Amino acid sequence: MRSPAVRKKEIMSTSSDPLSRAHSLSDPLRSFTWMLIALAVLFPLVNFHHLWTTVAVVSSLLVALALLVAPHRKVNTIYMSASHSGSSTVGLRLKLVAILGHKFRLASFQPPQAKPGFFRRFILPYIRTKFYMGSRLTELQGDSVQPAFWNFDALFIPQDHPGRDMQDTFYIKDESDMKLARKGLVDTVARTHENGWKTGSVGWSYRWSVEEARRLVLRTHNTVLTVRALSESKEREARVFAVSKIYRNENLDYKHLAEFHQMDGIIVGKGLNVRHLMGFLREFYKKLGLRDVKLWPTYFPYTEPSLEITAYSEKAKDWIELGGSGVFRPEVTWPLGVKVPVLAWGPGIERLMLIRYGLEDLRQLYDSDLGWYRRRPEIASS
């Protein structure tokens, strides 16, 4: 049988607040009146020939009297049983406090932090140290919840794109970024969508909606972090990357998860082109020990040319898509004030590990199989 969960709560009295005192029943005279009313109601119902009933009533009155005469404490720490608080002494005390009219407010407390899992302890540090730290790239951090403007619009993804539908993206219900207004950078991005602005493009030829751009989403890629850094950076020739979790409304299978990690990066500089990107990616995956890697021409709304990165998995007997890459389009960079080429890439880490460790299913990375961890020398030795 499961033991009842026990919670610790700190209750702080607000009786020192004049406004709270004016509206509470903590005045001794009024509390005494309430006690008399309670006695008048309970007295005819009590059979004093029954010993335990007498003890219960007398104990309740003593507790009530103690609450009246005891000095107010600033903080009371109470351990409450989630299953039996109604029948416990604590439950009785809380009920009496409610009857006597004492006003309390719950103080915030920090829950215990969970221990870092497999990815945070081993995989993420491995990716950071082996690949990015030696490439002179600066790591970025950011919120998981982002406005659709930065997650989609700033990347020249039209507002009617299938990837923005609810079957692919997690939206925060009834929440929007109301600070977002069509002016400055936002207006420039909007005009780029509508008619191409000054980029030489015709845009997407539709009426852009600021309400759609205000919607909050769980970020679907870490490119949202790199493009925000690109807009805020004063040093236009930059190298930045982000390694963190992203969220997509996917059907779970051996190579798809609803939450997974992505390592996204950009390199900004004069004279860069797709050949530099291909050389960087080949060197990148060579360090990981992947030999059968191919770069296929593909299409993304925000890069041109665009490359899809795939690698062959011996276990799965299939080519696994690792992520996308390409050179940012002028429709992305020009509204941000960047006129030089920007190389971008964003492979998923779980799929890399699936091939690197010869797994058959991504979900094995999150199983509690200690034997598998112990058989990995890079994990067992740490």
**Terminal-residue alpha carbon distance, the chain:** 38
Label residue 280 exposed, middle or buried (CB < 10 Å: 0-12, 13-18, 19+): middle
DSSP state of 110: P
Largest Cα–Cα distance in the chain?
A: 99
Cα 178 to chain centroid, rounded: 20
**Reported pTM:** 0.65
CATH number of 118-144+219-380: 3.30.930.10
Instruction: Give CA separation, 106 vs 12, 146, 280, 304, 320, in Å.
Output: 6, 30, 54, 55, 51
Angle at 353 between CA 351 and CA 357, to 5 degrees: 130
Residue 136 confidence (pLDDT): 75
- Sheet containing 303-313: which strands, arranged edge to edge? 138-139, 239-247, 259-268, 342-347, 318-328, 303-313, 293-300
Range list of β-strands (E), the chain: 6-13, 75-81, 104-106, 138-139, 145-147, 171-176, 215-218, 239-247, 259-268, 293-300, 303-313, 318-328, 342-347
Residue 274 one-letter amino acid = V
Mean pLDDT of successive 10-residue segments in the chain (382 residues)?
A: 40 39 48 63 59 65 59 40 40 46 51 61 69 71 93 94 85 92 95 95 95 94 91 77 87 81 89 91 79 87 92 76 91 92 89 76 75 67 54
Residues 6+ apart with CB under 8 A from 110: none
Quick check: 130 and 195 in contact, CB under 8 A? no
Quick check: 274 and 249 in contact, CB under 8 A? no
Beta bridge partners, 303, equal 300, 328
Cα 25 to chain centroid, rounded: 43
- In the chain, ranges of CATH 3.30.930.10 domains: 118-144+219-380
Residues 6+ apart with CB under 8 A from 267: 137, 238, 239, 276, 280, 342, 343
Quick check: 34 and 101 in contact, CB under 8 A? yes
Beta bridge partners, 138, equal 240
Distance, in Å, from the CA atom of 345 to the CA atom of 148, rounded to the nearest integer, reads 20
Residues 6+ apart with CB under 8 A from 184: none
Other CB atoms within 10 A of residue 357 CB: 15
Residue 331 confidence (pLDDT): 96
DSSP state of 145: E
Quick check: 290 and 312 in contact, CB under 8 A? no
Quick check: 324 and 300 in contact, CB under 8 A? yes
Beta bridge partners, 10, equal 77
